[in-house]
Amino acid sequence: MRWILLIFICLNTFSSNAQNDSIPYSRDYEFIEGIYLNSNQFMQNSPIHREWIISGFPENSLDCRMIGANERITFKDVSGVEQKENLALIWGVCKNRSVYINHNMAFYKLAVIGTLSVFAGIVPSGMLFNSHDGMVGTDFSQGPSYTELHQYIFDTRSKRILDLNTQNMEMLLSDDINLLNEFMALKKRERNKMVFVYLRKYNEKHPLYLPVK
């Protein structure tokens, strides 16, 4: 009995400390400006600080800015050692309190930040063709035209980027049986219209906790 009580006290203490060290995201949350080498740096609000960056940091608007394959960013790490990284490989950046995610070598602003974050990305369009092996591909011989706007979800739990659609929303709601049952009770056409509403409902019930800085 004593061991059970001791474990209970330790778990409560750990939970209390975790809550004290983090807060649910709100629009007032202050993101530190800099670059995120990976999604963990975003989740920890610990980017490579702006003042640590020597060169290569995009100064222009990042929204939909295409990244050249050979563009590099130079910065100093926590030990003061100069490092270089291919800009196309970094996870994202934060400028003017806005977070931009790198997807398919372009930066897109996170329009919704939460456990399920949302951004709109422009995808290349071209003429479809059938290759000799029967696979369907896209012909960019005349150069791709970036005209198709597509909405994506960044799932902060799995760190995956998913299409914003009903099928993925069903999967993402699977750990909240009440929300899932509500969503599935809708007619298919209604579900298509309510995907974004249920994403927001999920974020309200399951907020994204970020560290206090």
Q: Would residue 184 count as lying in a domain?
A: no
Which 3 state secondary structure label does DSSP give 149?
Answer: strand
Q: Would residue 129 count as lying in a domain?
A: no
**Per-residue pLDDT reduced to its tens digit, 133-181:** 434 344 445 555 556 889 999 999 999 999 999 999 999 999 999 999 9
Q: Would residue 52 count as lying in a domain?
A: yes
Domain that holds residue 74: 29-113
Domain count, the chain: 1
* Per-residue pLDDT at 130: 39
Q: Would residue 142 count as lying in a domain?
A: no
**Sorting pLDDT into bands at 50, 70 and 90, what band is 122?**
confident
Q: Would residue 65 count as lying in a domain?
A: yes
Q: Would residue 51 count as lying in a domain?
A: yes
**Sorting pLDDT into bands at 50, 70 and 90, what band is 48?**
very high
Q: What percentage of the chain has pLDDT greater than the value 70?
A: 79
**Sorting pLDDT into bands at 50, 70 and 90, what band is 111?**
very high
Burial 58-87 (b: 16+ CB within 10 A, else e): beeebeeeebeeeeebebeeeeeeeeeeeb
150: β partners: 121
The predicted model gives 85-99 an average pLDDT of 92
Q: Would residue 203 count as lying in a domain?
A: no
Q: Would residue 44 count as lying in a domain?
A: yes
Mean pLDDT of the chain: 83
* Per-residue pLDDT at 192: 94
**Per-residue pLDDT reduced to its tens digit, 15-45:** 444 456 999 999 999 999 999 999 999 999 9
CA distance linking residue 9 with residue 3, whole number of Å? 10
CA distance linking residue 108 with residue 92, whole number of Å? 9
pTM: 0.79
